[in-house]
Amino acid sequence: MRHYWNGMGMDGWGYTAAGLTMLVLMVLVAAVAIALFRRSSDVRRDRAPAAEQLLAERFARGEIDDEEYRRRLVVLQDVKPSGKDR
């Protein structure tokens, strides 16, 4: 029976392969985390145009007057991210 006390029989190439595999896995996990973060922030950004559209529809139906429409539109545009941060 042969005993491998030197890293279970791994030589230099075995350590290199193990290290590269670990590096690839870490990069993959980081890429997935970044993609999920960007997707969630894009979803939050898309809410403001939907709110502006809803406000315009209410104005078109006559539910709110011109003054109310403009006041609420200014509030929505102040809250909405500018997109220049990207």
Is the entire prediction scored with pTM above 0.75?
Answer: no
Domain assignment present for residue 1? The answer is no
- 3-state class percentages of the chain: helix first, strand second, coil last, to nearest 5: 75, 0, 25
Q: How many domains does the chain have?
A: 1
The crossing angle, in degrees rounded to 10, of helices 66-79 and 47-61 is: 180
Query: What's the average model confidence in pLDDT over 35-41?
Result: 85
Domain assignment present for residue 71? The answer is yes
pLDDT tens figures, 42-75: 666 656 678 888 999 999 999 999 999 999 999 8
Domain assignment present for residue 33? The answer is yes
